[in-house]
């Protein structure tokens, strides 16, 4: 495969962004694709692979240089997400992205100097892998509905409750946990964030969950039973956790948009290659105008969504308020990737319906994109409130 340097994907990108893109593609071709099928069977990405990504600088793209990061911007995050999405292994992609862009930013944004010094270098190196625990059995996108509590007891907090659908939850070394500290009720001023280390008494993985897709990603139900953690493990200010969660959800949704578009782009490439070779009715499928035109229409939609993603990431990097635009990215890309996968599998025919084909795996993996990180319905309501 040629690794010739491509032209910038957008005027928003710098040579450094494109260098990152090229490095990621090389790594994924050499170190991910040859092993991804085995990771799907194992239900996890090997720690050695994650540490190698850390050594290459892929896990600290947005974090300070003094901790081993690169201190790059939102557009760099988009590059990472797109290229991981193009790997064709959604479980691998989300394993990395939860660590780099959904969990660790909580520490980067709100951590004390002592907390940053203790944990951030190992997060950037891949020695510690992180998860974030927000979702509960009765509270998904409804953050204010969570029931897990953290009660101050001298120099400790005592956590009680459960979390579910936690990506990286089985094997994570650090978990950033959201819990109620301000009493019952639905006020945004009742939630705090905590750092909980693996092995803390009272903190356990109740079960590893089996999923429809993202098979190489470990997902857990977590339980906290009189789990005592030092008061110094409070992350940020008490009762300000809801705002920290809301802040980072913007980054999370941009990331998921990037991953979805990477997946959609790759699926179209795989499908074009297939229909140009697949012989039927005296020719190849590409000769059928209906197929060519539908693929062209999908490619146009993907390109339009990509430019919205890039523009939104550029504005976010400038510090603009882009809640509406981020919600548009998340809703649009989450739905579009599923539309693309449906058609691409259709054009693969019976072959595409077989397990262990690329397009079958990608179709399963894409389904969650309209659910995770804020369901499309929630995103559309966020947009509507700002129109």
Among 82, 221, 252, 263, the active-site one is 252
Task: Of 314, 331, 319, give the one whose Cα is nearest residue 256.
Answer: 331
Per the structure block, which two tokens stand in for 385?
């409130």
Angle in degrees, 0-180, between the axes of helices 241-275 and 358-366, rounded to the nearest 10? 150
Q: Is 212 exposed, middle or buried (0-12, 13-18, 19+ CB in 10 A)?
A: exposed
368 alpha carbon, distance to own chain's centre: 11
Q: Is 252 a catalytic residue?
A: yes
Question: In terms of C-beta density within 10 A (0-12 exposed, 13-18 middle, 19 or more buried), how is residue 34 classed?
Answer: exposed
Could you tell me where the DSSP H helices lie in the chain?
Answer: 15-27, 36-42, 47-55, 74-85, 90-97, 104-110, 113-125, 241-275, 289-318, 323-352, 358-366, 376-384
Task: Give the DSSP letter of residue 8.
Answer: P
**Strand (E) or helix (H) holding 224:** strand 219-230
Is there a contact between 133 and 178 (Cβ–Cβ < 8 Å)? yes
The string of DSSP letters for 280-339 reads ETTEEGGG-HHHHHHHHHHHHHHHHHHHHHHHHHHHHHHT---HHHHHHHHHHHHHHHHH
- The residue to which tokens 């906290």 are assigned: 224
The DSSP annotation for 143-169 comes to: GGG---EEEEETTEEEEEEEEEEEETT
Q: What distance in Å separates the CA atoms of residue 176 and residue 156, rounded to the nearest whole number?
A: 16
DSSP conformational letter for 2: -
Active site residues: 252
């Amino acid at each position: 495969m040629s690794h010739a340097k491509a032209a910038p994907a957008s005027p928003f990108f710098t040579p450094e962004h494109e260098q990152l893109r090229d490095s990621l593609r090389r790594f994924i071709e050499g170190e991910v694709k040859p092993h991804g099928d085995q990771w799907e069977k194992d239900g996890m990405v090997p720690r050695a692979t994650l540490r190698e990504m850390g050594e290459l600088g892929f896990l600290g793209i947005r974090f300070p240089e003094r901790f081993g990061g690169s201190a790059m911007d939102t557009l760099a995050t988009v590059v990472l997400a797109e290229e991981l999405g193009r790997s064709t292994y959604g479980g691998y992609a989300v394993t990395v992205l939860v660590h780099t862009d959904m969990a660790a930013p909580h520490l980067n944004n709100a951590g004390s100097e002592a907390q940053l010094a203790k944990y951030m270098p190992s997060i950037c190196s891949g020695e510690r892998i992180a998860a974030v625990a927000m979702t509960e059995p009765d509270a998904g996108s409804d953050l204010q509905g969570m029931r897990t509590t953290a009660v101050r007891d001298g120099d400790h907090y005592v956590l009680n409750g459960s979390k579910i659908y936690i990506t990286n939850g089985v094997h994570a070394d650090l978990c950033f946990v959201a819990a109620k500290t301000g009493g019952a009720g639905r006020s945004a001023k009742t939630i705090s964030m905590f750092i909980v280390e693996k092995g803390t008494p009272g903190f356990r993985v109740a079960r590893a969950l089996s999923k429809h897709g993202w098979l190489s990603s470990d997902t857990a139900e977590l339980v906290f039973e009189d789990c005592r953690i030092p008061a110094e493990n409070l992350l940020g200010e008490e009762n300000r956790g809801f705002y920290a969660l809301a802040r980072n959800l913007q980054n999370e949704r941009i990331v998921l948009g990037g991953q979805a578009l990477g997946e959609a782009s790759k699926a179209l490439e795989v499908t074009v290659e297939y229909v140009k070779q697949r012989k039927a009715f005296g020719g190849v499928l590409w000769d059928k105008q209906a197929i060519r035109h539908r693929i062209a229409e999908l490619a146009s939609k993907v390109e339009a969504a990509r430019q919205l993603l890039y523009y939104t990431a550029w504005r976010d990097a400038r510090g603009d308020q882009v809640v509406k635009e981020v919600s548009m990215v998340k809703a649009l890309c989450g739905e579009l990737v599923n539309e693309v996968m449906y058609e691409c599998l259709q054009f693969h025919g019976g072959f595409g319906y077989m397990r262990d084909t690329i397009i079958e795996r990608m179709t399963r993996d894409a389904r969650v994109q309209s659910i995770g990180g804020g369901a499309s319905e929630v995103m559309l309501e966020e947009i509507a409130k700002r129109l």
